Amino acid sequence: MKYALITGASRGIGRAIALSLSQMGYTILVNYNTNHDAAKETLQLIEKQGGKGELLPFDVSDNVEVDKAIFAWEEANPNAHIEVLVNNAGFRKDNLMVFMTNEDWDSIIKTHLDGFFYTTRRVLKSMLSKRYGRIINVVSLSGIKGLPGQTNYSAAKAGIIGATKALAQEIGARKVTVNAVAPGFIQTDMTADLDEKQYKMMIPMGRFGKPEEVAEVVAFLASEKASYITGEVISVNGGLYT
């Protein structure tokens, strides 16, 4: 069976990606940290549409947890191969820098940037040995443009964008592609605290995006049709920033 690991797949964009890749025939490894009920619901939705999957809980910011969880899964599935990795896990802790605490900074950097590194490094060896793989990093408009009140989030996402471009050059010869998708304002729990009426006036398409619209781009990058695309950042933002 073909496997796809999606971090932070319990809800929002991660859930939409899990459902989309399931429709492509992948068995989905639904990663989450603490929200077991939401992750279980994602798995049930996958199974409801005729797909297969399993829960794989670990904290992406903890290198010991990452290695332990993925190693245990590989031991239990010796003939399996994770073909697709989607680094999606994340959250926001917005504040003006003058008021930002060390914890506000550290937690965002660790979950996003360290989480990308720990998880990708662990899965990468198998992809290189199999000479096939797709790594897709969910970044953000914030990492391209920078947004006030998000110096921590912008720094983390911009770091992943730089790492995406560098890693793509390292491993392209092994037929492993590395790309990023940069959503703008998408209707998820992460944007629930924003005033959509206010922000959508800034967006040329006049609305927030849907998680499924991001998932479709991720699905394309995960497919064999995207075999000559690597090191790219594709924006999904309704024309807000080009």
Secondary structure element (H or E) that encloses residue 175, with its range: none
The label of the residue with tokens 């609305």 reads 207
Angle at which helices 36-48 and 12-23 cross, to 10°:
30
118 annotated active-site: no
First CA to last CA across the chain, in angstroms? 39
Angle at which helices 63-76 and 115-130 cross, to 10°:
30
What phi, psi does 119 have (nearest 5°)? -75, -45
What's at 61, amino acid-wise? S
Sign of CA dihedral 132, 1, 88, 21: positive
> CA-to-CA distance for 17 and 216, rounded, in angstroms?
8
What phi, psi does 137 have (nearest 5°)? -105, 125
> CA-to-CA distance for 129 and 17, rounded, in angstroms?
26
- The single residue of 3, 26, 118, 153 carrying the catalytic annotation is 153
Catalytic residues: 153
